A = this chain, B = another copy of it.
Amino acid sequence: MMPRSLCVIGLGLIGGSLLRAADAAGWTVWGTSRPPEDADLAAAAGFQVHDDIEKALRLTEQTDALVVLAVPMPAVEDVLADVHRFAPGCRLTDVVGVKQPVLDAVARRAPGVRYAGGHPMAGAAVSGWAAGSAGLFRDAAWVLICDDDTDREVWLQVAGLALECGAHILPASADEHDEAAARISHLPHVLAAVLAAVGADGGPLALGMAAGSFRDGTRVAGARPDLVAAMCEGNRDALLGAVDDALGRLGAARGSLASTGALASTLRAGHAGREALVAATAATAAAPGGTMTVDLAKPNAMERLREFGRLGGVIRAIDGTRCEVSL
């Protein structure tokens, strides 16, 4: 039995929700937070909160707890330096929105930890402890990184935690995660910002006319720009590729509208993309068409998980070292 103790560093929307969800699932949990308002709110809600990160991490060493990095990307290096000082051999995961840069930072700053990275796909337009809840991860996707050198014992523990929080697991390599996240998480924030600015340039009449299409398309522009910038800038290389794809498609739409007056091919491609999203969502919600088992005790397990992840495979159950992948 692995210890069911959890130390959450960072008590914002994701970290704060994870503290609550793990507590509700019966884990022993404690946390620490640099922003004092999140720490105060968590303590007021009855949780064990430590003022300084050293105390929180030393407690981890004593209990072999799992440590969760739940801070924005720009704070990751400093926190990892603390991890290396106060809990150099701990079990570690994270919930940061980019994975290869965190993997690199872990190797550089805390080379002794046993690490398996993750990224729960939840929350965007709000932030802080107050916006979180124990149910945030219910029916959400939680990406778990399956690189060949990922620590398998920690991976299994984080996977169990994710399932206990009500999420399902998507297996992927760090690079694959970052490329996909640029397309479906970081580009949406950039386009929402562009749309909000162009709309507001239309003045009070335009804003008064704004209905569902503008409201939906700009919702995430309401998120704190510094947090969004940290998230997007941390995935710079992959995001540049996604922005270039968007510029190419938008430029083609512009050219077609100006020359022939037609937007049909742009709109048909978009409609097909949206239908693919709806179909993927329905497939995830439905009973699986087939189930494969991948045993993490086997040498090629991580490679097989990545292959299934590329095909849309989802893990909903784990028995010992055996992961059931639904396709």
Contact = CB atoms under 8 A, between A and B. Distances in A.
Given A207-B280, A310-B205, A273 B225 contact: no
A170 B205 contact: yes
A263 B233 contact: yes
A176 to B, nearest CB: 6
B243 A201 contact: no
Contact of A199 (B183, B210, B221, B263): B183
A263 B190 CA distance: 8
A272 B209 CA distance: 18
Interface in A180-225: 180-181, 183-185, 187-225
A204 B263 contact: no
Given A240-B257, A242-B198, A309-B205, A219 B216 contact: yes
Given A220-B212, A284-B208, A257 B276 contact: no
A314 interface: yes
A188 B202 contact: no
Contacts of A266: 190, 193-194, 197
Nearest to A314: B208
A211 B140 contact: yes
B273 A211 contact: no
Contacts of A125: 212-213
Nearest to A310: B205
Interface of A: 121-125, 140-141, 143, 170, 172, 176-177, 179-181, 183-185, 187-226, 228-229, 232-233, 236, 239-240, 242-247, 249-251, 253-254, 257-258, 261-264, 266-278, 280-281, 284, 309-312, 314
A172 B211 contact: no
A243 B270 contact: no
A110 B233 CA distance: 56
B220 A121 contact: no
B196 A280 contact: no
A183 B217 CA distance: 12
A181 B209 contact: yes
A105 to B, nearest CB: 16
